[in-house]
Amino acid sequence: MDVLFLIGLALAPGAAIGLFIWLKDQYDREPLKHLFISFMLGVLCAVPAVILSIVLGKLFPVDYSSLISVAVFAFITVAFAEEFAKFLILRFYAYRQKEFNEPFDGIVYGAIISLGFAGIENILYVTDGGVQVGLLRMFTAVPAHASFGIIMGYYFGLAWQHKERAFEYKLKGLLAAVFLHGLYDFFLMQQSYPAFWFLSFVGLALSIRLCFKAMKAHNLRSPFKTK
């Protein structure tokens, strides 16, 4: 299979999701320059995420026969490591841009950063596993990463709107993303009850539903919305 085709297959779902979310911003869309930088920083943040995950994996070795051990691995070693790396980009790059000037911008940047991370991850999986893996992840892992980023970004939007509670909302954004990510991974990783694997996709569906509610809510909160 042609490698360029597989790379295109790996990147296509993220590009489609990113474009969809950018277009959902009804009032003051973000400059493409900042979106490109955010995406590339999302790609690069995979490196510290992997390093942190390795360190946490040494501290909390996983035992797949133990649900508690799998939960620690899913929520701490994987979800926290990855979402914290994305959080740092959102907090110290995107949130500081002067163009971050309405609540919906948190959703856009959160999603784009997560899609950068998902893009490089997807390339590695798809070039190794082929078209079937690419098609599967198109409807699972990629929208999952996007949804975690949207939820985190939703809270960053609230932080921008309510600056007196900014720290609280940013922390809530990180914790919400870690929780949803950990829940998704936990049901896939646990081996004690294979019948529970489907709960990952139930959780993903609920996360996506929350994302649509978040986008609608933040469009209504836009200071550029005409009454």
- Each domain of the chain, given as residue ranges in start order, spans 3-21+31-220
Given a cut of 60, is residue 220 above it in pLDDT? yes
- DSSP single-letter state for residue 94: G
CA distance 99 to 221: 16
Per-residue model confidence (pLDDT) at position 1 = 60
Spell out the alpha helix ranges (H) of 65-165.
Answer: 67-72, 81-92, 104-129, 131-138, 141-161
Supply the pLDDT for residue 52.
96
Residue 227, pLDDT above cutoff 60? no
Residues 6+ apart with CB under 8 A from 126: 6, 7, 9, 10, 133, 134, 137
Q: What is the pLDDT of residues 139-161, one digit of tens each?
A: 999 999 999 999 999 999 999 99
- CB 109 within 8 Å of CB 94: yes
3-state secondary structure 11-60: HHHHHHHHHHHHHHCCCCCCCHHHHHHHHHHHHHCHHHHHHHHHHHHHHC
d(CA 123, CA 125): 6
| pLDDT tens-digit map of 181-193 | 999 999 999 988 8
Round to the nearest angstrom and report the end-to-end CA distance of the chain: 54
Q: Which two tokens stand for residue 221?
A: 């909160």
Across the chain, what does the average pLDDT equal? 94
pLDDT greater than 70 at residue 91 = yes
142, 14 Cβ separation under 8 angstroms: yes
- pTM of the complete model beyond 0.75: yes
Token readout for 1 is: 């299979």
User: Residues 63-87: pLDDT tens digits?
Assistant: 998 999 999 999 999 999 999 999 9
